[in-house]
Structure 1
Amino acid sequence: MSALSKILAASLALTLGLASCKTSSTDQADLLATDQVSYNFHIRPILSDKCFACHGPDANKREADLRLDTEEGAFASLKENPGKFALVSGNPSESEVYHRITSADPGEVMPPPESNLFLTESEITLIKKWIEQGAKYEPHWAFMPIEKPQIPKSDWGSNEIDPFVFQKMKERGLSPNPEANSFALIKRASLDLTGLPPSPDLLTKYAGFKNGNTYGKLLDELLSQPAFGEKLAILWLDISRYSDSYGYQDDEFRSQWPYRDWLIHAFNKNLPYNEFLTWQLAGDLIPNPTKEQILATAFNRNHKYTEEGGVIPEEYRIEYVLDKTNTFSKGILGITMECAQCHDHKYDPFSQQEYYELFAFFNNSREKGFEGDISQTKPAKTPILWVEREDLDGILSFINHPDTTQLLISVMGELDESEKRTTYILDRGVYDAPTVPVTASTPSSILEFDEAYEKNRLGLAQWATSRENPLTSRVFVNLIWQEVFGKGIVKSAGDFGMQGDLPTHPELLDWLAADFMENDWDIKRLLKQIMSSSTYRQSAEISKKHLEIDPENLYLSRSSRLRLPAENIQDLILASSGLLVTELGGPSVKPYQPSGLWEAATSGRGTLATYIQDEGEKLYRRGIYNFIKLTVPPPKAIIFDSSNRDRCEISRNRTNTPLQALVMMNDPMVLEAARVLSTKLSEKHTNPEKAIEEAFLRILCREMKSQEKNLLKKYFDEELEYFNTHPEEVEKTLNIGEYPMSTSAITAENAALMQVIMSLYNLEETITKS
């Protein structure tokens, strides 16, 4: 049994509500009945929320020189009362903490009334019980070494994941749902692995998973499709804050899109995650690097750049280094190091010195803070990788470059030894207030930096991908879990620190993280492993018991129903209508967009001052290729909760607003797709019922029920009658979008079928993975 398993011997799952200060009375009673109280999973969440702001890691905010976040500090004699102690092992009555949290005196009670914080009776009782049991401290769970726990015994499941999940279900009084039907699984797997709906041919081939066409073969087929790389790349583009412009006021064009092509290529060829990270962090520092490895370092250069005259170059150069540091810590380590830019972290064991030691790894780039105003702009900033035609015919053949001009990409390049900068702790994070010099290193609370590594970005990559690093594998496995199930095992995927959410299945997280590293950091294998589980293959049926016990589906006794990401909603509509252009990679495109939007949010200067919509096939590319201007992100995507890409983001919200319904009902792309599909189906089927059946299969990815068939046929007949009696409305309805339409297609039948298809596109089921 692992160390983490021992800590969780009691009913760990019941602590989650307490950690978020939303514990039900039933959960509180169960917590108080827990045999062994854990500091990590029972006590630290309380102290972190209520006490650490004044008695935590931040020395600048610490009161009474008392630390409760460390065992040494909590058991030391009090500075103001040397004969007293905050904690006395086994003795609450002698522990000043217990006296203060139970005091009725406003001048003594902790937390103080002016903080607007208070402890519940159950929290006070739990702290008392912890003190009685010895007040034992533990290292933060996420910073503990990853040990592979034993798999629980179970009579349910298809692979090693399921026993861990089933164990937590049983603890909550839940049982798993039956397996979803084949149509639901085919759609679910296709959307998860390619971001596209399954074609009618794929549905027919794998319906019922018979004649050798097994579910496992379906996963293999989907993993081998080029669309796989496009689907997974969206996650990493959010993390790497990819965009097509520089940001700030003038917000000029930049040519970083070859990095996106590389990202899709890397996922499709299944580059191991440790190499995937190393190339992006330090591909230029690998001995004899290839142009592909250097191109990967564009990951570090996707942040905003100013092109405004009068700026102080060093101020912005520091801003760029800060961004790189914060992206590394949040996107790869899942920690909020940026909180330590100005002072010691208030909650996590990271000092300001450690922040600037991490900052030092990125502080010797050849990057400049300012290269000239908009009249001198280039589509890439120094250092630049020049891509020549021979590169496109060789090692960079995955780049989809449509013309013969050179490509410029902002990448990393290191200063020579004689040019190296000294890194200083910056007073309150201000660029021109250097204090104490520091050298490159990593937070000791995570993992000491091995002196065998060089103190540069390559050494940092080696540290991050070390088997001993407790965060990198945990964080990525959690991200993939989030991609599949909607929430990570750690819900706060960007915060594995003390203020983050506790893992719902900590032993499963560690098992997956260890197994991932043991199997060469194989991303496709990890995804297939998760999606082969019985946990993943459950139906999405929701019972009253589910809603009462586990409304958020934290314990996975059913499949979650999740709205698709913004880009994949566009993909589904284009693919189902037959409009989708499946060309891989290439420059970003400008689809339909409300007029005047760009112009209202621009300085009026530069090549992006006005929006020039693309034409032809460019209108029908996947959502991943939509042009992202930082000051005016794609409006439809933002309405559906996409990242605006101005900083590293590793989780998206899923809201439900009237604007989303307005987009689905009125967007030119949706209307055009409905028009094009109705025309194609009318040409293929003389019987409107057959046309409706195929439209339903393409869009909903399942066969119609008889009631649905009757309802849709009735709606078609009503619309047909309307258009027959209002012939002047036929062309108005059909004349939408730029896809060519023949005169013979302008019929009442096509207009009526278009309305039926629009109703299908506007069903919740259409844009929901369930």
Structure 2
Amino acid sequence: MNPAFRTLLPIFSGCVLSGEVIAEDAPISFNESIQPILSENCYHCHGPDSGTREPKKEPLRLDREKFAFQNREDGKPVIVKGDAAASLLVQLIKSKNPDEVMPPVKSHNQLTAEEIVLVEKWVQQGAKYEEHWSFIPPKRAEVPKVAAPQLVNNPIDAFIQEKLSEKALAPGPDEDPRTLVRRAALDLTGLLPDAADVEAFVKNPTKEAYQKYLDKLFATPAYAEHRTRYWLDYSRYADTHGLHFDNVRSIWPYRDYVIRSFASNKPYDAFVREQLAGDMIPASSADTWIATGYVRCNVSTNEGGTIPEEVHANNTRDRAEAFGATFLGLTVGCAACHDHKFDPTAQRDFYSLAAFFNNTAEKAWDENIADTQPVLRVPADDKRAEFDAAIVRRSQAAANYEKRRAAAPVNFKKWLSGGHKPSVVSPTDLQLRLKLDEGKGDVVKNSAPGAKTPDYKADTNPLVWGEQVWLWPSARMEIATNLVMPDQGDFESDESFSASMWINLRMKTSNATTGNGPLLARMGDASMENHRGWDFFIDGDKLVVHIISKWPDQAIRADTPGIPRGEWVHVGFSYDGSAKGEGVKFYVNGQERPTSTPTNTLKPGLTIRNKLPLQLGVRAGGERMRETAYQDVRLYHRKLDAAEFARLPYEDLSAEILAASPDPQKWTARQRFVALDQYFLPSADPEAARFKKEMEAADADIERLGKDGMATLITRERETPATAWVLDRGVYSARKEMVVPATPDFLPLPNQSSNRLELAEWLFKPENPLFARVTVNRIWQEVFGTGLVETPDDFGIMGARPSNEKLLDWLAVEFRESGWNVRHMYELLLTSHAYRQSSQVTPEALAADQGNRLLSRGPRFRMDAEVLRDTALQASGLLATKVGGPPVKSYQPEGLWEAVSMPESNTLHYKQDSGEALYRRSMYSFWKRFAPPPSLETFDATAREVVCSRRARTNTPLQALVSMNDPQFFEAARKLAERAIQNSSQPAERFNYLSETLMARPLAQKEVNQLTKQLEAFSKHYRENAQDAKDVLTTGEAPANPSLDPIEVATWAMMCNQFLNLDETLTK
């Protein structure tokens, strides 16, 4: 065996090639012909993911040009440009030796002769690599000249004709006017056309009349509702939280915001900007804040035993994945656990993207309550103007504050030059300072000057580092972690001492294991000298100090209320050695707090000394505060005064930062946060302080005006710099490195921006290759049934190539240069000949374009679930046209929610609505993620747990059972029958009424004859079975018309039921 073969044989062990016959002299495109082969069969072992790359000794990459041509151990590359015979790749795929051939025999794959020739020719032609098509910014292609210019209504048709000509096909003839009007109405509004509009167009089927009709449809509320229905899938909107209890979530005002946006033809960039970062836009309104509900649409949980940090990591990952799918068309979530196996998305890229969403202000564990903060309570209309004005004031003040914040490094240096500087707290009698900034390991340093013990070691269980980041990555103790400091805190009752620290308490307060107990203690339980000693303690929302000789007769318990949970807070106390409760002072975030002393029985001269060590987060023998994060723990053997406590949270640290590095421009984001944002701006920049007060005043007005309003989840940013951890294998506790917000490195204009607003702006740049393409592809999919890229959420290496790349790029540039005009794009599509042509297919077109990917005929496919239900209600006259408002509950089988819900869930029992609510458009249906509306789910509606860019379109017997037997559909058939009966006394005219209502056309006589026979059969049955007729009339809550003959209504209800189930009714 050739030694080179033997050395590199493992390289290609998983490689399977496929291709097509290429003309002898035709240049072979890497993107079109070679990359699909490599990505499908080779990239798993020889692609972007370093974790699975083979061989381990000398990994080979075939996904990037610079790696594919690197010399191997034998001094030669695997691919020799222009020399197929010398290329090991070609030698292996052509080998006849079963031990050498690639793919290996055991893979049960074998290359055809054509596939081998394809690869060999590519190498011989120079093995030219190309950047993946979707990662190159789109350019407006020149509109081609075509053979049938009379069939070109706009440039779309020219691009389509060009593709059709490659297959010797031509565009189809114009569609019948009736079918076209119905198609347009269904595509733009999700509803049937008005009969008068159909007849008007039939009499005048001109382009001008068609345009006028489209304008009318665009102006209807139904247009905005229909567009919103698609967006709810893209945004994973639902009315419940999703996991565990699946309780109600208060977010429907976000859905109504989407309706308003489409109704006003809001530019798409504004629409996206508001949803990603409406809280950061300088000219905000209530709508821009409501829009940020998009970020909050992820599934959440309150399952017992869940870990807040894990939930937070999952929420952030969901948001990054949703952003990637919806706005980039990439499966970025595949890089959550490792580098993407096919796309160049590194794991670091994914978590840098996730960092944009990792700094939102809501608590990870939302307890499945409807209105988890942050929320906006939207008042009634009579207060709305004042409410919006308050939001504008708030956003303007915030924008002004951000300007001062951006200028802070320069202004800080000016302030320093004026003789000012931050002051440290005197380290006199500082015995213990645990900064807890080590970030790893079990040894923590005591950085107090002249410390008796320079460090302490945690034992039994290790410290948990980095779950949260404040001044630096935090530290937390596990269930059995011990951090014992025997030489610290040995004070007597007549000695003064003080302690302070940053803490972040776990949400629940039920017992010591979830956030109640000692923060710092030199004390044991009752069995250990009856609690003798002292501690600094958390009890519910109270900060407590115990100083005890004997409990409760010789003891002090002092406390102060109002300690928040789930956020960082600086807490401290001082004791003056007086043996009185009045000698204890509390400080929270540097401010003195009122003190109460429910126990004040200690007397001078009584000892509090014991033989126990000082411990962090536990009394000797007690439960640990294992869910509490700590930073900068200090213990002084003296009483600190109020001025010193005021400096401890930020000024003292700022002085340390300045001493270490005098240039603010060189500080890290965390150092700037401490020294500039938290110290300098509030205390030394009067303008910044003024803007902050204006923000607080506006917040108070917003809260006052919205006090009784409807709550909707919104997004707010924390003040801290945004960061994220790269998580090994995606495990929340396996933190590798910290990253800052950044867009994927392989895309143009890598963005080191710091927040969601800057991320949104990056999407709209002309250099962004994905955003416009992905959006127009979804628009195309909504209208034509399949996108130009068949995989709308995967424009990556494994995604489908565009069926018409030049057209896709032309549309993308047109969309951007139109000012992101959504209506303009739908208008382009619906006025094209491609859309207006007949859906009738010829044998030639079927053979060459079976899936209609080339648009050799007009679009025709079964309508989505919501459209089927809505059109049935519309035809029956039952459809309620109210726009917006709370979700509604229509008919569904009994016991469905009970079967899937936890007993504690507030969506355990389904309470059906009545009256108008039964007949609202389907997009207003209450969407319980554990059990979406069953009649809609049967027709492929999703649970909306994740982004759905493309619904499946299945055909099952269950669907027929729904459209024939579901109470909503059968009730619609009954009421439609009443309308048909009242329309005419003649059966033939009634049949035509139904046909024109549902299918926009009159019936042929042959069809009437067939229907008449069926009518006679139904009539005979109900005349002989009157009870059956009564049963028909009592289906659904809509009352039967008492003036009509029940037998006749039942008979025609069955005929209407058949009409509602015709293929022509169910398709557009």
TM-score by length of 1: 0.92
**Residues of 1 paired with 2:221 and 2:387: CA distance?**
17
What does residue 273 of structure 1 align with? 268
Unaligned stretches of 5+ residues in structure 1? 1-19, 398-402
Higher mean C-alpha deviation, range 687-696 or range 515-524: 687-696
**Residues of 2 paired with 1:590 and 1:425: CA distance?**
43
Higher mean C-alpha deviation, range 48-57 or range 719-728: 719-728
**Residues of 2 paired with 1:639 and 1:696: CA distance?**
26
**Residues of 2 paired with 1:289 and 1:438: CA distance?**
30
> After superposition, what is the alpha-carbon deviation per residue over 1:240-266, rounded to whole angstroms, capped at 9, x for unaligned?
100010111211111111111010110
Q: Helix, strand or coil for the counterpart of 2:712? A: strand
The answer to whether the Cα contact below 8 Å between 2:722 and 2:741 also exists between their aligned partners in 1 is: no
Cα distance, 1:749–1:21 mapped onto 2, change above 3 Å: farther
What does residue 745 of structure 2 align with? 444
1:17-96, aligned counterparts within 5 Å? Answer: 28-29=20-21, 31-32=22-23, 35-64=26-55, 65-78=59-72, 81-96=73-88
What does residue 507 of structure 1 align with? 806
Which amino acid counterpart does residue 62 of structure 2 have in structure 1?
Answer: L
2:116 corresponds, among 114, 124, 147, to 124
**Residues of 2 paired with 1:511 and 1:392: CA distance?**
46
**Residues of 1 paired with 2:821 and 2:144: CA distance?**
24
Cα distance, 1:98–1:562 mapped onto 2, change above 3 Å: same
The answer to whether the Cα contact below 8 Å between 1:205 and 1:213 also exists between their aligned partners in 2 is: no
Asked if 1:298 corresponds to 2:293, the answer is: yes
Q: CA deviation at 1:176?
A: 1.4
**Residues of 2 paired with 1:587 and 1:494: CA distance?**
30
Asked if 1:147 corresponds to 2:142, the answer is: no
What does residue 8 of structure 1 align with? none
Q: Helix, strand or coil for the counterpart of 2:216? A: helix
1:410 corresponds, among 713, 725, 748, to 713
Higher mean C-alpha deviation, range 361-370 or range 381-390: 381-390
What does residue 704 of structure 1 align with? 1003
What does residue 6 of structure 1 align with? none
2:991 corresponds, among 686, 692, 697, to 692
Q: Helix, strand or coil for the counterpart of 1:424? A: strand
Richer in strand (by share):
2
Cα distance, 1:165–1:391 mapped onto 2, change above 3 Å: farther
Q: CA deviation at 1:746?
A: 4.4
Q: CA deviation at 1:214?
A: 1.0
Which amino acid counterpart does residue 429 of structure 1 have in structure 2?
Answer: G
The answer to whether the Cα contact below 8 Å between 1:50 and 1:117 also exists between their aligned partners in 2 is: no
Q: CA deviation at 1:170?
A: 0.9
The answer to whether the Cα contact below 8 Å between 2:749 and 2:767 also exists between their aligned partners in 1 is: no
Q: Helix, strand or coil for the counterpart of 1:436? A: strand
**Residues of 2 paired with 1:254 and 1:539: CA distance?**
45
**Residues of 2 paired with 1:338 and 1:534: CA distance?**
39
Q: CA deviation at 1:113?
A: 4.1
Q: CA deviation at 1:390?
A: 4.6
Cα distance, 1:243–1:392 mapped onto 2, change above 3 Å: farther
Q: CA deviation at 1:643?
A: 1.8
The answer to whether the Cα contact below 8 Å between 1:206 and 1:213 also exists between their aligned partners in 2 is: no
Asked if 1:353 corresponds to 2:348, the answer is: yes
The answer to whether the Cα contact below 8 Å between 1:177 and 1:538 also exists between their aligned partners in 2 is: yes
Higher mean C-alpha deviation, range 144-153 or range 714-723: 714-723
**Residues of 2 paired with 1:404 and 1:545: CA distance?**
66
Richer in helix (by share):
1
1:730 corresponds, among 1026, 1029, 1032, to 1029
Asked if 1:249 corresponds to 2:244, the answer is: yes
What does residue 16 of structure 1 align with? none
**Residues of 2 paired with 1:212 and 1:141: CA distance?**
36
Number of paired residues? 730
1:333-348, aligned counterparts within 5 Å? Answer: 333-348=328-343
**Residues of 1 paired with 2:84 and 2:722: CA distance?**
53
> After superposition, what is the alpha-carbon deviation per residue over 1:370-395, rounded to whole angstroms, capped at 9, x for unaligned?
144xxxx5312222112122577449
What does residue 110 of structure 1 align with? 102
Q: CA deviation at 1:118?
A: 4.5
What does residue 315 of structure 1 align with? 310
Which amino acid counterpart does residue 684 of structure 1 have in structure 2?
Answer: N
What does residue 195 of structure 2 align with? 200
What does residue 569 of structure 2 align with? none
Structure exhibiting the larger radius of gyration computed from Cα positions = 2
**Residues of 2 paired with 1:201 and 1:427: CA distance?**
63
> After superposition, what is the alpha-carbon deviation per residue over 1:633-675, rounded to whole angstroms, capped at 9, x for unaligned?
1111111111220101100111111111111111111111111
Q: Helix, strand or coil for the counterpart of 2:783? A: helix
Cα distance, 1:308–1:148 mapped onto 2, change above 3 Å: same
Higher mean C-alpha deviation, range 542-551 or range 357-366: 542-551
1:320-331, aligned counterparts within 5 Å? Answer: 320-331=315-326
Which amino acid counterpart does residue 57 of structure 1 have in structure 2?
Answer: P
**Residues of 2 paired with 1:721 and 1:22: CA distance?**
63
Which amino acid counterpart does residue 273 of structure 2 have in structure 1?
Answer: T
Q: Helix, strand or coil for the counterpart of 1:461? A: helix
**Residues of 2 paired with 1:473 and 1:390: CA distance?**
36
> After superposition, what is the alpha-carbon deviation per residue over 1:683-736, rounded to whole angstroms, capped at 9, x for unaligned?
332223322221221112212112112222232223222222333322122221
The answer to whether the Cα contact below 8 Å between 2:721 and 2:754 also exists between their aligned partners in 1 is: no
**Residues of 1 paired with 2:781 and 2:108: CA distance?**
34
What does residue 209 of structure 1 align with? 204
Asked if 1:385 corresponds to 2:376, the answer is: yes
Cα distance, 1:186–1:717 mapped onto 2, change above 3 Å: same
What does residue 238 of structure 1 align with? 233
The answer to whether the Cα contact below 8 Å between 2:53 and 2:60 also exists between their aligned partners in 1 is: yes
Higher mean C-alpha deviation, range 748-757 or range 259-268: 748-757
The answer to whether the Cα contact below 8 Å between 1:50 and 1:118 also exists between their aligned partners in 2 is: no
The answer to whether the Cα contact below 8 Å between 1:734 and 1:746 also exists between their aligned partners in 2 is: no
Q: What's the C-alpha RMSD, in Å, of the aligned pairs?
A: 2.0
Higher mean C-alpha deviation, range 717-726 or range 439-448: 717-726
Asked if 1:756 corresponds to 2:1055, the answer is: yes
Q: CA deviation at 1:106?
A: 4.0
1:459 corresponds, among 744, 758, 763, to 758
What does residue 478 of structure 1 align with? 777
Which amino acid counterpart does residue 730 of structure 2 have in structure 1?
Answer: G
Asked if 1:183 corresponds to 2:178, the answer is: yes
**Residues of 1 paired with 2:111 and 2:930: CA distance?**
43
The answer to whether the Cα contact below 8 Å between 2:723 and 2:741 also exists between their aligned partners in 1 is: no
The answer to whether the Cα contact below 8 Å between 1:675 and 1:754 also exists between their aligned partners in 2 is: yes
**Residues of 1 paired with 2:930 and 2:386: CA distance?**
34
What does residue 159 of structure 1 align with? 154
**Residues of 2 paired with 1:162 and 1:506: CA distance?**
14
**Residues of 2 paired with 1:87 and 1:21: CA distance?**
15
The answer to whether the Cα contact below 8 Å between 2:991 and 2:1003 also exists between their aligned partners in 1 is: no
What does residue 612 of structure 1 align with? 911
2:889 corresponds, among 570, 576, 590, to 590
Unaligned stretches of 5+ residues in structure 2? 1-15, 389-705
What does residue 929 of structure 2 align with? 630
Higher mean C-alpha deviation, range 50-59 or range 212-221: 212-221
The answer to whether the Cα contact below 8 Å between 2:978 and 2:1041 also exists between their aligned partners in 1 is: no
Asked if 1:430 corresponds to 2:421, the answer is: no
> After superposition, what is the alpha-carbon deviation per residue over 1:2-52, rounded to whole angstroms, capped at 9, x for unaligned?
xxxxxxxxxxxxxxxxxx9997xxxx34x4457111001111000101111
Q: Helix, strand or coil for the counterpart of 2:317? A: helix
Fraction of identical pairs, as percent? 40
**Residues of 2 paired with 1:94 and 1:541: CA distance?**
53
Q: Helix, strand or coil for the counterpart of 2:51? A: helix
1:552 corresponds, among 851, 858, 861, to 851
Asked if 1:99 corresponds to 2:91, the answer is: yes
Q: Helix, strand or coil for the counterpart of 2:377? A: strand
